[in-house]
Chains A and B, each alone.
Chain A
Amino acid sequence: MIVGSFAMISNRQTVFSAFGFLVAMIGLAGIFALLNSQFLAIAQIMVSVGAVVVFSMLTILTVNAKEENLPHEPNKTKWILFTSLLVAPFTLLLYKVLATLPNEFVQLETINSKIMGKVLFSEWVLPFEILSILLLSAMVGAIVIARKSKRKERRRS
């Protein structure tokens, strides 16, 4: 998974970094399955791998940026190494903060869709509804943004 995400940030061709992202997302779904939450793993595979990654690959292939349209990054490797050095203490800090939490798992049954549905529709109803409105507005916004503007078309013709 780490290899996939590293390939994502280091490849020059966008399609290859999308494949690295795919590997990272599938690995994340496997980790969710290791954490005994089946439904989350399946949702991760369906939404992130099935929708988001495929959608971004489709966009990459539709945009089809030529070699000269890709950004010119002459010393990319140097940049990545330098930023990694800068970010490393932050990683350590984040890990140390999270490691103050209790370091053992509670024995519990698998979080399947039944338990999850009960919790989702009793305690978390309001965030769920807000999320549905957010999804609807994101869909409408995406359509409005990606549509060709009429004024430009008129100017072209």
Chain B
Amino acid sequence: MTPNMFFLLASILFSIGLVGLVSRKNLFVLYMSIELMLSSVSLILATLSKVLGEASGSVMALLMIGVIASEAAVFLAMIINLYRANRTVDSDTFNKLREGVYND
């Protein structure tokens, strides 16, 4: 078990999250992809805490988990609100801020 294996795992996870974020339209899948990317960052922090031999990295990863939780709360509330307004979870529907589109 070398740190490089953990770094490889973290970069693969980050990239899977990025692929999901770019290629899917379902809002829930977008949300979970963002969570996955944040989790891979906290994995890097925990690995660095063991490489450098001090607990600061783990503490940062712990704070990161708190940030992930608060992000989840806000994002899911937003999804509920958007679904209530438009009856869909397709992210292409929500284009009211785009220039030149007045669809209601």
Give me the interface of A with B, judged by CB distance under 8 Å.
1-2, 5-6, 8-9, 14, 17-18, 21, 24-25, 28, 31-32, 34-37, 39-40, 43-44, 47-48, 51-52, 55-56, 59-60, 62-63, 65, 69-73, 76, 79-80, 82-84, 87-88, 90-91, 94-95, 98-99, 101-108, 111, 115-116, 118-120, 123-124, 127-128, 131, 134-135, 138-139, 141-143, 145-146, 148
Contacts and interface: CB of A to CB of B under 8 A. Distances in A.
B4 A99 contact: yes
Contact of A94 (B11, B25, B46, B84): B11
Contacts, number: 242
Identify the interface centre among A36, A43, A94, A128: most chain B CB within 10 Å of its CB: A94
A124 B56 contact: yes
B59 A120 contact: yes
A135 B72 CA distance: 11
Identify the interface centre among B12, B76, B81: most chain A CB within 10 Å of its CB: B76
